[in-house]
């Protein structure tokens, strides 16, 4: 439902600390209805008011709307190839607590158990204020919450164990969720259509259209790394040939440099991209060109306002901007070349997936609060 109450909470979430008067204008209600709304939501412990910063101009001062100190919370979780992390996030996106730990060489089920234990501890601390959980994982999540993460060699890891209770449960691919975060809190704020791409082991991302992440029919959209922009003779671990991901990630750099496939392709790639020696720089340039050419294809097809790059994409953009840009412009349709959508580094960096998990869980929770 989209009641005025939900709209108001959404405004506070998007802009915590918004003044009461601005919020009322944004959702288009008069002062009478605002009094009723703010009173009701305050009484329900969903929002609170503080005296607000003085505006400096004339007129009766208004108050700032902030999350209620006993209001609902979301447990935002991310699992990366190195560590897991759980943040307790209030309305507006601020974190009240953080727990994190390196994965070590735990199995998937052990990591899920550790995360579940951390969530349980947080639930004893915050009680029923924690209304749901959002989880970002480096792999694919099926509808029945089984996780496959080929990069970690995890198969059929059951995420449901993390959150046995009723409430909000959102789980998704890290790149997809990072796209959400980037569009709500990062470099793509204000874009009507934003494309986020994240290079790690492989390449993923998502389109965010009007604030909504396009997740596809099975929740598996955004696997742009498996579009055939690459070399048709290179086989991808997915079984297809010519996947774009195989042309831009750490495996591509290793292939170009004649190295073995690295154990940790992300740290490997960071090292290569940071190197200024000629051979690594040439490999980096080749990957950057492949990245730019593919971005052009996606921009032609999807018509975003802008493109944001996360993960190793940020490194490639910093290391070889000219190669990306040249291939990008060359691949664009003629009419776009004059004013192409900018390619920007992610501003949330490695926090993107966690922030996105918080965003999507909060979005889901807000539709259930009245």
Partner DNA sequence: CTTCTTAAGCTCGGATGTAGAGCATATTCT
Partner DNA sequence: AGAATATGCTCTACATCCGAGCTTAAGAAG
Q: Cα–chain-centroid distance for residue 327?
A: 26
Residue 277's contacts (CB-CB under 8 Å, 6 or more residues apart) are none
Contact region for a second copy (CB under 8 A) — 112-120, 206-214, 281-289, 353-361?
Answer: 206-214
For 25-58, b/e burial (b = at least 16 CB within 10 A) is eebebeeeebeebbeebeeeebbbeeebeeeeee
Is residue 31 near DNA by the rule CB under 7 A? yes
Range in contact with DNA (rule: CB under 7 A) among 20-28, 236-244, 265-273, 337-345: 20-28
Q: Which of 337, 349, 368, 370 binds a second copy (CB under 8 A)?
A: 337
Which of 228, 235, 367, 368 touches a second copy (CB under 8 A)?
228
21 binds, among DNA, a second copy, none (CB under 5 to 8 A by kind): DNA
Kindly tell me which residue out of 32, 164, 190, 334 binds DNA, with binding defined by CB under 7 A.
32
CA of residue 9 relative to chain centroid, distance: 21
Compute the distance between CA of residue 37 and CA of residue 370 in angstroms, rounded to an integer: 11
Subset of residues 271 to 310 that bind a second copy, contact rule: CB under 8 A: 293-294, 296-298, 300-305
Residue 56 lies near DNA (rule: CB under 7 A): yes
Smaller CB distance to DNA: residue 36 or 128? Answer: 36
From the CB of 228, what's the least distance to a second copy, in Å?
5
d(CA 218, CA 327): 32
8 Å CB contact between 323 and 285 = yes
Binding partner selected for residue 30 from a second copy, DNA, none, CB under the kind-specific 5 to 8 Å limit: DNA
Collect all residues with Cβ–Cβ distance below 8 Å to 363 and sequence separation of at least 6: none
Out of a second copy, DNA, none, what residue 303 binds, judged by CB under 5 to 8 A for its kind, is a second copy
29 near DNA, rule: CB under 7 A? yes
Cα angle value 107/181/47 (rounded, 5°): 105
Number of residues that bind a second copy (CB under 8 A): 46
DSSP state of 135: E
Q: Mention every residue, 6+ apart, whose C-beta is less than 8 A from residue 300.
A: 331, 332, 333, 336
Residue 302: name its binding partner from DNA, a second copy, none (Cβ under 5 to 8 Å by kind). Answer: a second copy
**Residue 3 binds DNA, judged by CB under 7 A:** yes
Calculated CA dihedral for residues 197, 199, 203, 209, nearest 10 degrees: -10
Separation in Å, CA 37 to CA 9, 43, 368: 10, 10, 17
8 is a site residue for a second copy (CB under 8 A): no
Judged by CB under 8 A, does residue 223 bind a second copy? yes
DSSP string computed for 136-157: EESSEE-TT-EEEEGGGTEEEE
Looking at the Cβ atoms of 34 and 180, the one nearer to DNA is: 34
Q: Which stretch binds a second copy (CB under 8 A): 43-51, 90-98, 128-136, 185-193?
A: 185-193
DSSP 45: T
Kindly report the number of other CB atoms within 10 A of residue 117's CB atom.
12
| Shortest distance in whole angstroms from residue 183 CB to a second copy | 12
- Tell me which of 220, 281, 364, 369 binds a second copy, using CB under 8 A: 220
316 binds, among a second copy, DNA, none (CB under 5 to 8 A by kind): none
- Contact with a second copy (CB under 8 A): which of 190, 218, 260, 338? 218
Check binding of 233 to a second copy (CB under 8 A): no
Residues found near DNA in the complex (CB under 7 A): 3-5, 19-22, 24, 28-40, 54, 56-63, 370
């Amino acid at each position: 439902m989209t009641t005025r109450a939900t709209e108001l909470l959404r405004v506070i979430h998007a802009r915590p600390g918004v003044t009461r008067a601005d919020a009322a204008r944004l959702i288009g209600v008069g002062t009478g209805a605002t009094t009723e709304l703010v009173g009701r939501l305050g009484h329900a412990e969903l929002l609170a008011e503080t005296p607000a910063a003085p505006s400096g101009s004339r007129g009766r001062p208004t108050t700032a709307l902030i999350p209620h100190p006993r209001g609902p919370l979301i447990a935002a979780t991310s699992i990366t190839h190195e560590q897991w992390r759980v943040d307790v996030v209030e309305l507006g996106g601020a974190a009240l607590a953080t727990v994190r730990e390196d994965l070590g060489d735990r199995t998937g089920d052990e990591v899920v158990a550790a995360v579940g234990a951390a969530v349980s501890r947080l639930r004893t601390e915050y009680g029923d204020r924690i209304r749901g959980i959002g989880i970002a994982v480096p792999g694919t999540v099926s509808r029945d919450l089984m996780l496959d993460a080929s990069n970690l060699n995890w198969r059929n890891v059951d995420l449901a164990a993390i959150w046995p209770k009723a409430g909000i449960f959102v789980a998704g691919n890290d790149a997809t969720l990072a796209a959400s975060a980037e569009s709500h809190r990062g470099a793509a704020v204000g874009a009507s259509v934003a494309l986020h791409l994240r290079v790690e082991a492989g390449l993923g991302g998502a389109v965010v259209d009007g604030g909504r992440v396009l997740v596809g029919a099975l929740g598996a959209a955004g696997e742009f790394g498996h579009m055939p922009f690459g070399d048709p003779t290179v086989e991808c671990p997915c079984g297809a040939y010519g996947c774009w991901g195989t042309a831009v990630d750490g495996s591509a750099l290793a292939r170009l440099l004649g190295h073995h496939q690295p154990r940790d392709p992300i740290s490997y790639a960071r090292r290569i991209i940071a190197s200024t020696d000629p051979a690594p720089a040439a490999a980096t340039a080749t990957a950057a060109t492949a990245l730019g050419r593919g971005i052009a294809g996606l921009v032609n097809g999807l018509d975003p306002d802008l493109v944001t790059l996360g993960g190793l994409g940020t490194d490639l953009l910093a290391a070889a901007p000219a190669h990306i840009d040249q291939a990008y412009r060359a691949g664009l349709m003629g009419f776009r070349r004059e004013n192409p959508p900018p390619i920007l580094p992610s501003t949330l960096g490695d926090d993107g997936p966690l922030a996105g998990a918080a965003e999507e869980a909060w979005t889901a929770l807000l539709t259930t609060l009245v």
